[in-house]
Homo-oligomer: A and B are copies of this chain.
Amino acid sequence: MTADDSFRSSDSTRHARPLRHVRVAHLTEPLALELGGELSELRVAYETYGQLSPERDNAVLICHAISGDSHVAAHDPGDDPGWWDALVGPGKSIDTDRLFVICPNILGGCRGTTGPASPNPATRRPWGASFPAVTVGDMVSAHLRLLDHLGIERLRAAVGGSLGGHQVLELATRAGGRLAGAIALATSPRLTAQALAFDVVGRNAILRDPHYAEENGEEGGPGPVVGLALARMLGHITYLSREAMMERFGARRLAPRELQTAFENKFSVGSYLAYQGEKFVERFDANSYVTLSMAMDLFDLGPTRKELEERLGASRCRWLVVSFSSDWLFPSFQSREIVDALLRARRPVSYCEVTSRCGHDGFLLEDDLDRYGALVRGFLDRLAEEAPHEDAPPTVRPRPTHMLGPERLDVERIVGLIEPGSSVLDVGCGSGDLLARLARHGCTRRVGLEIDEREIVRCVQRGLDVVHADLEHGLACFGDGEFDAVVLSQTLQAARDVEALLAEMLRVGRRCVVSFPNAAFERHRRTLAEEGRAPVDTSLGPFRWYDTPNIRSLSILDFEEFCVEQGIRIERRIALDTGAGRVVEEDPNRHADVAVFVIRRAEAPDGPGAAPLAGRR
C-alpha cells in the first residue's frame, strides 16, 4: 500500500478473509424468476447487528449495491471493516444499540447467496454464465423470504443506495405493509442512458474477453480478468466526482503510484484505477458482475410519469430520499423524479439534495454525515412516532419564517386563517415551526418546501415532511387545487419571479396565505422622504441596502393593485404592527409593517370578496 491508497472510495476498505459473522438461510421453496425459469432452492447469506426487540419492531433491512455484500459494518473492533461503517454501528446514524440491522448478500452476488458461482442443481457444477437472468424484483423476493425466515413481519425501515436503493423502491412499492419507512439514497427510478451506456461497455469488456468462456464452466484458465478489471476501472470513474478526481490526481498527474500494474505505469489516476481493477478481480466473480449490472440496467420503476406515480402510490410507508449534488451517475434530478411522483401520489416524503464533493460514492463516505447522517438518524428516530416532534433544535441563523421575533405573531395569525383538517403546503418552511403548529392544529396533510439543507435536517428531525426545492423552479409536481392552503410567509419579497410563483401557488392551492413587509410603513416613508435614504426592512435582522436578502420592495397598496391586475381575489387581509405586537385597523398601508393576505383565483367560485384595505394609503 502506498499513500495513494488512502484515497477514500467504496472499495478501499474491503476484506478478503472469510467473514466470521455470516449466516446462511437455506430456503427450500423454489423461487420463480421474473424473466422466466426458477431457482429450485435459495441460499441467502446475511449478517445481523444489534438485538431484535421483543415487539420485533426495530428491524432495519440494508440493501447493498453492486459490489457490496452482507458485511455492512464491523461487528467488533477486531472484525474486518464493513462497507458502511460510516453509518452503521453502536451510536451511529443507523444505531445498532437500538435497531436490529439485517444485511443480506443479494441474489446473483458472490458472497454466499445463490448466484453464478453456486452449483447448478441439475449439473452439480457452478452455474457460471448459464445462471438465469435475475431482476431487482427477484432480489427483493429473496429479501422477503429471508424476512419470513427470520420472523420479521414488518420492518422499521429498508435502507439502500444505488442498486440498493432500487431494491428499497421495489420492496416499498410491492410489499407496502412490510415496512414503516423507506430510505432511498443516491438512486433513481431507472438508469440514465449515460449510466446504461457505461454498463454496456463494461459488460462487453467482460463478455468479449477471450477468457470469458473459462468462467463458463471450463477449468484452468485465468478467467476474464482483463475484462472484469476494465469494467471495474470504468465503474470506478463513474462513482467519483470530477472534483474529487482532480483534487486527488490533478497535482501529480504524471506521478504514477509506486504500486504500478500491468494496466498503467504512467499516470497517477491510471495506476490508481488499475490497482482498483486488479483488486476487484481477486474478490469478485465476473458472472456475478454481469448478472447484477444487467439487473440494474433492466430496472425501471415506471417508464412514464403516470406509471411511476401509480407504482409509488402503492407504497404505504414514509419516505426519505437523499441525493448528492456531485453524483453524476445517479443525478439529483432522478431522485426528484421519485419525490415528485410520491408527491403526486400524496405519499409522505422528505427529500434533500446533500451538497457534496464525493460523487456517487457520497452515500458511502463520512464527508457529508453532518447532514446526510443526521437526516437518516432523524428519519429513523421519528418513524415510530405518530405526531411531529415539538422541540425544534436551535436554528443556526435567522430565517424569513422566523422574522417576526419570538412571539411569532405571523405564525399564529396564519394558523388562525387555516381550517383544521386542511391540507397545507408551506413554501419556504424553514425549520418547520408553522408545519409543526399546523400539525397540532389538526391539518391532515402538511408539506414543506425549503432550500436550506440544515433547515431540512431539522424538519426531518421533528418528523415533518419537507422537500428540498428552489422556489424559482416552481411547483410543477403538485396538481391543480391539490392543497386547501398554500402559505408563503415572508418570502415574497425575496422571490425572483413573483408572477410565476404566485400563479403556481394559486394553481395548486384553493387558498393562498401570503405575508410580506410593507414598504409604505410610516417609518419607511419618513426614511426616504425626510432622511433621503432608501428604506430597508430590518425585522429579519440589522440589514442595510447592500446586504438585505429582500430583492423586492412592495406596499400593501402595490400588492392589492397587483391582485386586481392579475385577477386575484383578496379574501382577507390582516395588517400588523409587529413592533407593537398588534393588529392595525386604521390606514394599514401607513401603520402596518407586515401584511398577511388570503388570496385565491378570481374565477374560483366560492368565498367572500373584500373591500381594499389600503384605502387611505
Chain A interface (Cβ < 8 Å from any Cβ of B): 190, 192-194, 196-198, 200-201, 204-205, 208, 210, 226, 230, 233-234, 237, 240, 242, 245-246, 248-250, 253, 262-264, 266-270, 273-274, 297, 300, 303, 328, 331, 498-499, 519-520, 524-525, 528-535, 544-548, 551-558, 561-562, 589-590, 614, 617
Contacts and interface: CB of A to CB of B under 8 A. Distances in A.
B545 A554 contact: yes
Contacts of A263: 200, 204, 208
A416 to B, nearest CB: 27
A532 B617 contact: yes
Most buried by B among A264, A525, A528, A558: A528
Contact of A194 (B193, B205, B245, B535): B245
B562 A553 contact: no
Contacts of A249: 193, 196
Given A524-B528, A534-B519, A617-B531, A205 B230 contact: yes
Q: Quick one: copies of this chain in the complex?
A: 2
Contact of A520 (B534, B546, B589): B534
A257 B552 CA distance: 53
A617 B551 CA distance: 24
B557 A532 contact: yes
A267 B297 contact: yes
Given A226-B208, A553-B545, A201 B273 contact: yes
Contacts of A531: 557, 617
B589 A546 contact: no
Nearest to A529: B529
Interface of chain A, helix or strand or loop or mixed? helix
A262 B532 CA distance: 78
Nearest to A520: B532
Contacts of A498: 546-547
A33 B543 CA distance: 64
B194 A237 contact: yes
Contacts of A614: 532
Given A194-B242, A528-B555, A532-B589, 6 more contacts: A200-B264, A201-B273, A208-B226, A534-B554, A544-B562, A551-B551
30 contacts: A192-B245, A192-B246, A193-B246, A193-B248, A196-B269, A197-B273, A200-B274, A201-B273, A204-B230, A208-B262, A328-B328, A499-B546, A499-B547, A520-B533, A532-B555, A532-B589, A532-B590, A532-B614, A532-B617, A533-B558, A534-B553, A534-B554, A534-B555, A545-B552, A545-B554, A545-B558, A546-B554, A548-B552, A551-B552, A553-B553
Contacts of A532: 520, 525, 555-557, 589-590, 614, 617
